[in-house]
Structure 1
Amino acid sequence: MLELLTGTGLATAAGLNAYVPLLLLGALGRWTDVVSPPGGWEWLTNGWVLTVLAVLLVLEVVADKVPGVDHVNDVVQSVVRPGAGGIAFGAGAASQTAVVTDPGAFAGSGQWVPVATGVLLALAVHAAKALARPVVNATTFGLGAPVLSAAEDATSLSLSLAALLAPLLVLVMLAAGGALWWRWRRRRRARAEAAPQDATSAQVRHGGGATTPP
């Protein structure tokens, strides 16, 4: 159970920022005893891999905060984030951590199963992020991009830490995130439905309503 929450948290975090969970997983595995990556995933702790991930993380953080550039970045990340989610789930769910000392059968049932699960989770989160960003940019004239991006980065880091150190918190964070997403979608739908009515009312107030034929 806990290893599934670990993988879920890391894959979801990768849907927001591909490099945060991978860099954290590799760094903790290399320099601490908190994480012990399983066989086949030790390459995440390699110094060169960590350096590349750190550089890519910096580029991602900067690009995602520039209106217009963030959309191009999301297009590119449509492949990267799901792939990172698969790696994060596969490596994280099978790792020994401070909480999970004996990963269960799911993690060791074949690497493609957890990897495929991670790909789907990260893809779903990425899709939600990519759909929301243009709306936020349009309604805030681009001012909301850096704020939302910073919140996404912080959420990705928090999810990754929770997944590795306190997996049960992943459930709470995912529930809160889902509630916020549902509320945002509901408000957006309500505004879209109210817009035609407001336009009609304004037209009538300004004498633009239908005229009676002579």
Structure 2
Amino acid sequence: MLVALTGIGLSAAAGLNAYVPFLVVALLARLTDVVVLPSALTWMESWWAIGVGAVLLLTDVVLDKVPLVDTLNDAVQTVIRPATGGVVAAATTAAEDLEGSTWMSEHPWVPIVGGVLVALLVHGGKAAVRPVVNATTGGTGGPVASVVEDVTSVGLSLVAVFVPVLVVVVLGLLVWAFVALVRRRRRRRRSPVPPRPGIAGTG
């Protein structure tokens, strides 16, 4: 169960920001024994991969704070975030331990596909919410939402590795926030528009 939560948590974090969980896993593998990468993914802990990831993270953080540009960035990330979700799900120690089982050795694609689907689902929610936030706040809410998403991605990545049982709580809060925003938008659409004051005519 904890193994699955680790993969789900990292994949969900990738759905918010592809490069945060990548760098968390890569740096932990490079600098500690907490994460042991499978042999096929040891390239992640090389300094060149970490450096490229850091540059891409900085670029994404900046672009995601600019209204309209953030929507275009989300469109580009539709491929990158799910792909990264699959990679980080398969790259953790937990995923490697899973692969040691008979069933996982016969189905090595399961963690990757699962990570892709989870990241794609979270990315879809993020991409759908951001235009609403920009529209309802005149663009001022986009940067705030982006910061919240980045912080959540960092926190979720660390929780997934060190306290995977809390992944359920964090994901539950994300779902609650998404549903609350959707309901709020629907209420605004249904609320009647107050009539404009007219000019009284003379009899």
TM-score, L = length of structure 1: 0.86
2:105, 2:24 → 1: CA distance?
Answer: 22
Q: Which amino acid aligns with 2:163?
A: A
The structure-2 alpha-carbon separation of the partners of 1:16 and 1:104, relative to structure 1 and needing over 3 Å to count, comes to farther
Which stretches in structure 1 are left out of the alignment for 5+ residues?
A: 208-214
The two structures, once aligned, show a CA RMSD in angstroms of 2.0
Q: CA offset at residue 109 of structure 1? A: 4.6
Cα deviations by residue, 1:39-58 (Å, 9 ceiling, x for unpaired): 32211111111111111000
Separation in structure 2 between the aligned mates of residue 134 and residue 63 of structure 1, nearest angstrom: 14
Match of 2:162 in 1: 165
Paired with 2:135 and 2:72, the residues of 1 have a C-alpha distance of 15
Is 1:206 aligned to 2:203, yes or no? no
User: Which residue number in structure 2 is paired with residue 127 of structure 1?
Assistant: 124
Report SS of the residue matched to 1:33: coil
Cα offset, 1:88, TM superposition: 1.2
CA shift, 1:110, in A, is 3.2
Counterpart position of 1:211: none
Secondary structure in 2 aligned to 1:36? coil
Deviations 1:148-197 (A, max 9, x none): 00000000000000000000110110111111111111111111111xx2
Query: Which residue of structure 2 lines up, in the alignment, with residue 94 of structure 1?
Result: 95
Larger Rg: 1
Residue identity over aligned pairs, in percent, reads 47
CA distance, structure 1, for counterparts of residue 139 and residue 117 of structure 2 = 29
Name the CA distance, whole Å, in 2 between partners of 1:146 and 1:105.
Answer: 46
Quote how far apart the aligned CAs of 1:113 are. Answer: 1.1
Question: How many angstroms does 1:105 deviate by?
Answer: 5.8
Aligned residue for 2:128, secondary structure, equals helix
Shift of 1:111: 2.9
1:15 is aligned to 15
2:61 maps to which residue? 61
- Write out per-residue CA displacement over residues 104-126 of structure 1, whole angstroms, 9 at most, x where no aligned residue: 56654533111111111111111
Q: Would you say the 8 A contact 1:11–1:118 is kept in 2?
A: yes
CA 1:122–1:149: 2 relative to 1, 3 Å: same
CA shift digits 1:84-120 (9 cap, x unpaired): 1111111124146xxx9x9756654533111111111
Spell out the pairing of 1:65-76 with structure 2 (5 A cutoff). 65-76=65-76
* Range with bigger deviation, 135-144 or 6-15: 135-144
Give the count of matched residue pairs.
199
Tell me the TM-score normalized by structure 2: 0.91
Q: 1:155 to 1:109 in 2, by over 3 A?
A: farther
- 8 A Cα contact 1:38 1:95, kept in partner: yes
